[in-house]
C-alpha cells in the first residue's frame, strides 16, 4: 500500500512521546508498504536523518511557523480556533500537501495527533466525489479535551495557576469542537487506550475507535544496566518538558514530595531529563539534589542508571511512553493513577500507585531500601511489554484496518 503520514514533528530520532509512537508505526509499516511523510520541522531539528530517508519513499519537512507573543495572545482571546490550530497553520505546508496529493495515489492517509487535523478539510476537499479517495485515519494520541479538563480541576484551587486555568477554560470548548468534527470527517479513529476511546465516543457516539496502544521496539532497550549503575540513588522523570502535565508533575514532586523523601534519604537525587524545559522547570535545579538535563540524544542510559522512575502526573490523557521505556529496562516505577492510566497494570505487581504526598514519600522511601522489590516490579513490567506492547505486533492490527477498509 501507499501510505501518507502527516506528523507535527519529524519522527526520527524518536526522542519524545509523539515521535516515539510515530516512528514505531512508520518504521514497522515500511517493511511492507511505501511510506510518504509530510511533517513539520521544529526549530531544534535542522536535518533529516539517513535512517528516516531510507525508511520512507519521500520525506518533506516544513519549518514550523514562528509566532510572537502578541499574535498568540490575540488568537487565544479572540479566535474561535484552538491554540494548536494556529500554531500549526502554514500556507507552505498546505501547498506541499496539495502537491503531494496531486502527484501520488494513496491507499491510506494517516493524520497523527490533533495538531494536524486542521489539514483534514483540505484533504477531504481534494478528494470530494473522487472514487479514488483513500482511507483517512485519525490517530488520536490523546483525548485532548481531557487534558484541559484535568488542568482546570488541578489548578482551580491554586492561585499561582490562575493563568493556566484561564487558558484551559478558553481552550476546552474549542478543542471539544475540533475533536468532534475530526471524528466525524475521518473514516477511522485510532485511540491509544480504552479510556481515550470512551472519552471520544462521549462527544461523538457514532464512532467506534480501534485501540492501538503505544508500543516499543524492545531490542532497542537492551543496554547493560550494570555498567551504568551508580551508587547514589537516583529518582528519574523523563519527558517533553514544555508539556503542561509534565511541568505540573515535576514542580509538584520537587516542591512537595522530594523534601519529604530527603528527610529519610538525604543523599537521593532527582533527575529531570527531557526536551525543551521551560524556565519553570530549569529553575528547579536550584533545589537540593535536583538536576535538569535537557535535550539529550538518547534517554536510555539515564533510565538504565536510575534507581526508580516516577510518573507523578496530576493531569494528562493518552498513555505514557515513559512507562513502557522504564518497563523495557526492568525499572521499578512509582506513578499516580493518572500517570498509569491506559495500561492494565496492577498496583504492587507491575508498578506502585501513589497519589498523595504521603503515599509517594512512603512508597519511594520503601523502594529505595528494597532492592528485591525493585527487581520484582521490573521483571513484571518487562514481561508485560514483551507480551503486549511491541510495535512489530501492534502494527499488524493497523494493517488489518487498512485491508478491511480497502477491500
Q: Please tell me whether residues 186 and 317 are part of one structural domain.
A: no
- The CATH number that applies at residue 33 is 3.40.50.2000
Say whether both 330 and 184 belong to one domain.
Answer: no
For residue 159, the 8-state DSSP code is G
By C-alpha distance, which of 325, 290, 368 is closest to 19? 325
Is pLDDT at 283 greater than 70 in this prediction? yes
Considering only CA atoms, which of 245, 42, 65 is closest in space to residue 141? Answer: 245
Q: Which three cell numbers stand for residue 240?
A: 517533553
Residue 187 and residue 43 share a domain = yes
Label the pairing between strands 269-274 and 188-191.
Answer: unpaired
Average pLDDT on 368-383 reads 97
Structural domain of 287 = 218-388
In this predicted structure, the answer to whether residue 249 has a pLDDT above a threshold of 80 is yes
pLDDT average, residue stretch 12-20:
85
Q: Regarding beta strands 2-7 and 290-294, do their DSSP bridges make them parallel or antiparallel, or are they unpaired? A: unpaired
Averaged pLDDT for residues 19-40: 95
Strand partners, 210: 190
Task: Return d(Cα 10, Cα 14) in angstroms, integer.
Answer: 8
Residues 246 and 149 in one domain: no
My answer on whether 64 and 209 are in the same domain is: yes
pLDDT digits (tens, 9 = 90+) for 102-140: 999 999 999 999 999 999 999 999 998 777 899 999 999
Alpha helices in 37-82 (DSSP H): 50-55, 69-78
What is the distance between the alpha carbons of residues 395 and 392, in angstroms, rounded to a whole number? 6
Whether residue 133 sits in one domain with residue 41: yes
Please indicate, yes or no, whether residues 377 and 394 belong to a single structural domain of this protein: no
Give rounded-to-5 percent helix, strand, coil for the chain. 50, 15, 35
CA dist 369 and 277 (Å) reads 31
Do 146 and 251 lie in one domain? The reply is no
Looking at the 3D structure of the chain, how many domains does it have?
Answer: 2
How far is the C-alpha of 145 from the C-alpha of 166, rounded, in Å?
A: 14
Within this chain, do residues 63 and 160 fall inside the same structural domain, yes or no? yes
**Distance (Å, whole) CA 191 – CA 202:** 14
Q: What would the mean pLDDT of 193-216 be, rounded to a whole number?
A: 94
**91 and 235 assigned to the same domain:** no
Whether 346 and 295 share a structural domain: yes
What pTM, to 2 d.p., does this model score? 0.88
Residues 203 and 346 in one domain: no
The whole-angstrom separation of Cα 401 and Cα 407 is: 10
Which 3 state secondary structure label does DSSP give 277? coil
211-224: pLDDT as tens digits = 999 999 898 898 76
Instruction: Give the count of beta carbons closer than 10 Å to the beta carbon of residue 223.
Output: 16
Amino acid at each position: 500500500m501507499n501510505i501518507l503520514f502527516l506528523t507535527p514533528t519529524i519522527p526520527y530520532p524518536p526522542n519524545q512521546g509523539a515521535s516515539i509512537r510515530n516512528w514505531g508505526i512508520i518504521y514497522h509499516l515500511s517493511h511492507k508498504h511505501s511510506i510518504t511523510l509530510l511533517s513539520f520541522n521544529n526549530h531544534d531539528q535542522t536535518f533529516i536523518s539517513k535512517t528516516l530517508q531510507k525508511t520512507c519513499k519521500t520525506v518533506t519537512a516544513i519549518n514550523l511557523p514562528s509566532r510572537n507573543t502578541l499574535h498568540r495572545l490575540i488568537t487565544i482571546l479572540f479566535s474561535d480556533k484552538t491554540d494548536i490550530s494556529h500554531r500549526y497553520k502554514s500556507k507552505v505546508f498546505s501547498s506541499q500537501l496539495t502537491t503531494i496529493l496531486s502527484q501520488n495515489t494513496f491507499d491510506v492517509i494517516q493524520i497523527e495527533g490533533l495538531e494536524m487535523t486542521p489539514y483534514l478539510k483540505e484533504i477531504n476537499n481534494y478528494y470530494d466525489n473522487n472514487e479514488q479517495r483513500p482511507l483517512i485515519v485519525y490517530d488520536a494520541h490523546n483525548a485532548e479535551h481531557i487534558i484541559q479538563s484535568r488542568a482546570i480541576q488541578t489548578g482551580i484551587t491554586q492561585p499561582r495557576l490562575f493563568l493556566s486555568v484561564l487558558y484551559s477554560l478558553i481552550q476546552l470548548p474549542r478543542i471539544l469542537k475540533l475533536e468532534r468534527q475530526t471524528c466525524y470527517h475521518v473514516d477511522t479513529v485510532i485511540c491509544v487506550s480504552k479510556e481515550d476511546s470512551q472519552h471520544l465516543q462521549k462527544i461523538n457516539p457514532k464512532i467506534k475507535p480501534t485501540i492501538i496502544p503505544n508500543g516499543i521496539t524492545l531490542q532497542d532497550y537492551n543496554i547493560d544496566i550494570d555498567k551504568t549503575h551508580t551508587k547514589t540513588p537516583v529518582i528519574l522523570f523523563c519527558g517533553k518538558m514544555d508539556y503542561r502535565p509534565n511541568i505540573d508533575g515535576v514542580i509538584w514532586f520537587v516542591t512537595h514530595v522530594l523534601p519529604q523523601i530527603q528527610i529519610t534519604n538525604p543523599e537521593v537525587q532527582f533527575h529531570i531529563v527531557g526536551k525543551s524545559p521551560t524556565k519553570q522547570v530549569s529553575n528547579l535545579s536550584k533545589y537540593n539534589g535536583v538536576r535538569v538535563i535537557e535535550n539529550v540524544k538518547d534517554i536510555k542510559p539515564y533510565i538504565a542508571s536510575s534507581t526508580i522512575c516516577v510518573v507523578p502526573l496530576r493531569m494528562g490523557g493518552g498513555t505514557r511512553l515513559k512507562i513502557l521505556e522504564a518497563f523495557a529496562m526492568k525499572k521499578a516505577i512509582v506513578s499516580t493513577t493518572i500517570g498509569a492510566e491506559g495500561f492494565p497494570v496492577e498496583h504492587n505487581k507491575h508498578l506502585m500507585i501513589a497519589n498523595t504526598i504521603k503515599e509517594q514519600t512512603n512508597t519511594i522511601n520503601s523502594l529505595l531500601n528494597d532492592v528485591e522489590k525493585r527487581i520484582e516490579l521490573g521483571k513484571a513490567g518487562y514481561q508485560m511489554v514483551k507480551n503486549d506492547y511491541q510495535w512489530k505486533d501492534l502494527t499488524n492490527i493497523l494493517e488489518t484496518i487498512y485491508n478491511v477498509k480497502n477491500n
